[in-house]
Structure formats: structure tokens, C-alpha cells
Amino acid sequence: MRTPFNYFAPETLSDAHELLEKHGERAEILAGGTDLLVDIRNDMKQPDAVIDIKNIEELNGVEFDSDDGLIINAAATCTEVSSHTVVRDRYPFIVEATSELASHQVRNRATVVGNICNASPCADAARPLLCLDASVEISSLQNKRTLPLEEFITGVKQNDLAPGELVERVRVPVEMADARGANRKLKRIKGHDLSLASVTMVKTDAETRVSIGACGPTPVVLTGFDASTDVDELCSAAEEAISPIDDVRSTAEYRNFMIKQYIRELDEELS
């Protein structure tokens, strides 16, 4: 810990809202803390108030019903999500993606919603949720609003939350349950690593959706392709949509190449 901060652990949503309202931009929300605490340690963030939401009952757990679809609450860990029976049965590619996220220890702590709020271009949980047309439920002391996930992630480590707001949950519409889907993630080692380039493909009888990570300021999703779309067309659309860079992890050229390679592999696997 580099800079001292005040730690709050409210037990109700309204207490959390009030704390957020009070501290405004100087507040940070703590769920798993696996990104926040690293940022604080590295002086990337210097909050006055850290508001832990794990004690708020309604923000915990994973739920599913045939009307509302899949609900991943803000404090649900990656491990909880990937071990949930319905997620395993009906959204196995979410399990696959969240099981490749970080290490075992981190997944026991890190939350899926936190992964999305952190808004890294390589956020592993974002890809399947983008393909599933997930929406983000946001609230503050005065307000409630819902936003498509695609609009929620606005840039590198940027999200649409205003001071005073928190994400209560992510909702996946029921229509996409039982879709076929799979992931590919390019890493430097076989053990845990950030994604250098990654793809999720989801297919229903009507549609093919593709989301791509680590190849632009935000993960991107390609929609509007019917199920019979030729893979070359998907590859061209992907190349059009992404803007990979050279950095210490990989190069634009290899990322571009591997994205298309993965799309071909996934298309074959899911057809």
C-alpha cells in the first residue's frame, strides 16, 4: 500500500450509493480488488475512499431464469460464474473464457463485472458477453440506467461510469442460451498470461457473432452476420474492425494473422 485510503464496507446498496456520492471522483469500488489494488500499489490510482461491495447481498451471486436470462451480479467471482451449473450447461464458452482469465488464485477473487469495469482491451470475460449482447445495469443515488456492454467499455481502461455510479450486474438475454461458442487466446506461455490477441465466436442457427480482444483500444464485436456467412468475409470484417499495435507483448502483424487464423479455426469447429 503506497497511499493511505479509507476503507468502507457498506452492507446495503443505498449506503454504497451514499458513499459514492460523498466521495465522487475520489472513490474507487472494490469487488475482487485484483486490478484496483495493483493499480494502487503502482500509484496508478490514489483514491481517498475504497468502497468494498462484497457485503451487499443483492450484488452477490449468479442467477438464471427463463424470462430474465443470465444475471451476473457485481460481486460474483470468476470461479463462481464458471462453476455455476446453468452457465456450465448453457453458456460453456463463458466458462472457457473465464477459466483462462489470470490464475486460479486470482479467479477465486476477481469478479466478472470487475473485469468488464476495468475495461482492458484484453479483458477475457468481455468477449463472450459482447457476443451474447449483454447489458450493464448501473445505478447511483438518484438514478438507474441500462447500457449495452459494447457502449459501456469506451476506451483503454475507460468505462461509461460517472462519479457516484456503480455497476450492479450484467444481464445476458435468454435468447442466446444454448448458442454454440468457443474461444481462442494467444499467450506467451501455456500458463496464465494476458491475452495477446483473442477471439470468441458464438453461433446460433441464425447468426454468427465474433468478438476480438487485445487488438484495439476496446474489445470489439462483429454482429449482423448470418450463420452461413463465409469465413473469408468474417476475416475481412475482423481485419477492418481491429487496430492492433506493436508492443512489448506482440506485434500488429502477428496479432492480425492470429486473429484470422483463430476465426478460421473457430468457424470450422462450430460449423
Partner 1 sequence: MREDTPQEELNYVGKGTERVDTTEKLTGKAKYTGDLRMPGMLHAAVKRSPHARAKINNIDTSDAEAIPGVHAVVTGKEFDYKLGLYLVDKDVLARERVRHHGEAVAAVAAESPGLAEQAVKKIDVDYEVEEPVLDALEAIEDDDKLVHPELDDYDYFEPAFSPQPGTNVANHTKIRKGDVEQGFEEADHVIEREYTNPNVQHVPMETHVAVASWKEQDELDVHTSCQSPFTVRNLLCVAFDLPHTNVHVEVPYVGGGFGGKAGIGVEPLAACLSKKANGRPVKLEASREEEFSLLPCRSGLTYRIKSGVTEDGDLVAQKMTMFWDSGAYADYAVNVTRASAYSASGPYEIPNAHVDAYTIYTNKPYGTAYRGFGHVEFSWGLERHMDLLAETIDMDPLEFRKQNALKPGSITITGEKIVENTGNVTKCMEVAAEAINYGELTPEEKKRQEETGMKIAKSVSALHKAPAMPSFTATAAELRMNEDGSINADLSLTEYGQGTYTALTQIIAEELGFPPERINLSIKGDTDKAPYDWQTVASKGLLMSGNACIKAARDLLEKAYQDASEVLRADPCDLDHNENEIYIKHHPEESVTFSELAVGYAYPTGEGIGGPIIGVGRYMAQGLTNLDKETGQGEPALDWTYGSHGVVVEVNEITGEFNILKVASAFDVGKAINPANIRGQVIGGLIQGLGTTICEGYAYDDEGHLLNPSFTDNKIPTSMDVPEEIEGIVIETPQIDGPYGARGVGEHPMIALCGAIGNAIYYAAGADLTHMPIRSEDVWWALHKDEDRDRPRYSIC
Q: Does 268 bind partner 1 (CB under 8 A)?
A: no
Considering the complex, state which of residue 117 and residue 258 has its C-beta at the smaller distance from partner 1. Answer: 258
Residue 11 in contact with partner 1, rule: CB under 8 A: no
Q: Which three cell numbers stand for residue 190?
A: 501455456
Report which of 104, 120, 95 is spatially closest to residue 36, judged by C-alpha positions: 120
Instruction: Return the residue of 21, 192, 216, 229 that touches partner 1, per CB under 8 A.
Output: 192
CA–CA distance, 72 with 129 (Å, rounded to integer): 11
Looking only at residues 230 through 259 of this chain, which bind partner 1 when binding is defined by CB under 8 A? 246-251, 253-254, 257-258
Cell of 79: 470461479
The Cα-based distances of 9 to 12, 51, 84, 178 in angstroms read 9, 6, 26, 37
What CA–CA distance (Å, rounded) separates 252 from 69? Answer: 37
Contact status, residue 52 vs residue 30, Cβ threshold 8 Å: yes
Residue 85 CB, nearest approach to partner 1 (Å): 27
CB 16 within 8 A of CB 166: yes
Residue nearer to partner 1 on the CB measure, 15 or 193:
193
Q: Using the rule CB under 8 A, give the single segment among 136-144, 158-166, 184-192, 227-235 that binds partner 1.
A: 184-192
Q: What one-character DSSP code corresponds to residue 24? A: G
Nearer to partner 1, 11 or 269 (CB): 269
- For partner 1, the closer of residues 7 and 162 by Cβ is 7
Nearer of residues 1 and 206 to partner 1, judged by Cβ:
1
Minimum gap (Å) between residue 122 Cβ and partner 1:
11
Least distance in Å: CB of 198 to partner 1?
A: 14
Number of residues forming the site for partner 1 (CB under 8 A): 22
CA proximity to 171, closest of 132, 204, 221: 132
Q: Which of 188, 232, 236, 240 binds partner 1 (CB under 8 A)?
A: 188
Between 110 and 221, CB nearer to partner 1: 110
CB of 237 to partner 1, least distance (A): 21
Q: Is 65 in the site for partner 1 (CB under 8 A)?
A: no
Instruction: Select from 158, 94, 79 the least CA-distant residue to 125.
Output: 94
Rounded to a whole number of angstroms, the minimum distance from the CB of residue 106 to partner 1 is 12
Q: What is the CA radius of gyration of the chain?
A: 18
Residues paired with 197 in a beta bridge: 186
Those residues with Cβ within 8 angstroms of residue 130's Cβ, 6 or more apart along the chain or in another chain: 149, 150, 200, 211, 219, 220, 221
Give the residues lining the site for partner 1 (CB under 8 A): 1-2, 4, 186, 188-194, 246-251, 253-254, 257-258, 261
